[in-house]
């Protein structure tokens, strides 16, 4: 008798509060000001989201120098360094800051610890936009540490006044392993007031861990430049999934991945709309995986308000229509 084919659908998955806020910010800006609205970097790291906003009139650029003077620009959810704000003011740009409030919290911690004379170790991945923005808050006193191996060799000027911060979208386990390595070398290392890794990253990794051992194949929907999506695939393998693949879209799935599978796990990164997960479920159902069980490990209710400058303009427009 052939074993029943099943999908274990991880929950929470998909959009977090910071991504939801950032995407809505661009949508509302387009409605309010009209196209084009410029966005510095990808608003969130997801191909589908970026392509959808481009069709509505958003123009994505790498730097504010590419934006015509006097235009409207939205800063991405990953945050920007202080010099980006300065450069935008020099070009007379109307700025809307869609930085995730949890990233803003890390920026504030960096400024505070720098002002108090600490050296800062930032656990994160070189070149990631969030890391670039955070490093820009205190470049003279901040050192990037990428992983436990790097932590074992990094050199510090003043180990007696030392604190660690982290990129918000890392693997929880790898980050703490890196911190433990640092603490072995620098016993006086201080931790931030609260965990920098965001609630959504932790919850999505926790949901994957809860189902991984039961899965022959784990599918993670998310883009290759999305740190939290890439981490989910790694977490699945570490937690016991036989194999794991990351895809942007259902049409990237390959039949041979599921040839011997009876249980498929499915999740999505924090910048992935549920529509893309639904398309994967349809693809799997067409191949016999019709039994779908959602496995929920946490409830999420956090909502972030839109950026204040956008809320102000929306209220002004509403008053003008009365």
Cite the active site residues. 130
Sheet strand arrangement including 243-247? 243-247, 217-221, 263-268, 6-11, 291-296
164 in Cβ contact with 183 (< 8 Å): no
What distance in Å separates the CA atoms of residue 13 and residue 229, rounded to the nearest whole number?
Answer: 10
Residue holding tokens 């390595």?
A: 181
Q: Which two tokens stand for residue 219?
A: 């599918």
Q: Enumerate the β-bridge partners of residue 6.
A: 263, 291
Residue holding tokens 């999420």?
A: 300
277 half-sphere exposure, CB direction, 13 A CA radius: 23
Q: Enumerate the β-bridge partners of residue 119.
A: 162
Nearest alpha carbon to residue 77 among 31, 128, 33, 121: 128
Q: What is the DSSP string of 278-320?
A: HHHHHHHHTTT--EEEEEE-------PPPPHHHHHHHHHHHHH
């Amino acid at each position: 008798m052939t074993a029943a084919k099943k999908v274990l659908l991880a929950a929470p998955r998909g959009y977090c509060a910071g991504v939801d806020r950032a995407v809505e910010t661009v949508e509302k800006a387009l409605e309010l000001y009209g196209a084009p609205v410029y966005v510095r970097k990808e608003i969130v790291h997801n191909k589908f989201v970026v392509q959808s906003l481009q069709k509505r009139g958003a123009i994505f650029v790498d730097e504010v120098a590419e934006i015509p003077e006097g235009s409207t620009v939205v800063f991405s959810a990953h945050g920007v360094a202080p010099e980006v704000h300065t450069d935008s003011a020099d070009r007379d740009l109307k700025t809307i800051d869609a930085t995730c409030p949890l990233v803003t919290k890390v920026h504030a911690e960096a400024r505070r610890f720098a002002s108090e004379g600490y050296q800062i170790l930032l656990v994160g991945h070189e070149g990631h936009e969030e890391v670039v923005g955070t490093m820009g808050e205190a470049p003279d006193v901040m050192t990037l540490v990428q992983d436990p191996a790097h932590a074992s060799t990094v050199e510090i000027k003043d180990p007696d006044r030392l604190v660690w911060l982290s990129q918000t979208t890392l693997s929880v386990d790898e980050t703490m392993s890196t911190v433990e390595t640092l603490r072995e070398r620098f016993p006086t290392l201080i931790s931030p007031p609260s965990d920098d890794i965001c609630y959504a990253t932790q919850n999505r990794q926790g949901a994957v861990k809860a189902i991984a051992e039961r899965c022959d194949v784990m599918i993670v929907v998310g883009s290759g430049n999305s740190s939290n999506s890439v981490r989910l695939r790694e977490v699945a393998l570490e937690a016991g999934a036989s194999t794991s693949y990351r895809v942007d879209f259902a049409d990237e799935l390959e039949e041979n991945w599921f040839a011997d599978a009876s249980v498929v796990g499915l999740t999505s990164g924090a910048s992935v709309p549920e529509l893309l997960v639904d398309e994967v479920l349809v693809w799997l159902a067409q191949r016999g995986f019709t039994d779908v069980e959602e496995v929920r490990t946490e409830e999420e209710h956090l909502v972030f308000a839109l950026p204040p400058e956008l809320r102000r303009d929306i209220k002004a427009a509403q008053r003008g229509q009365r």
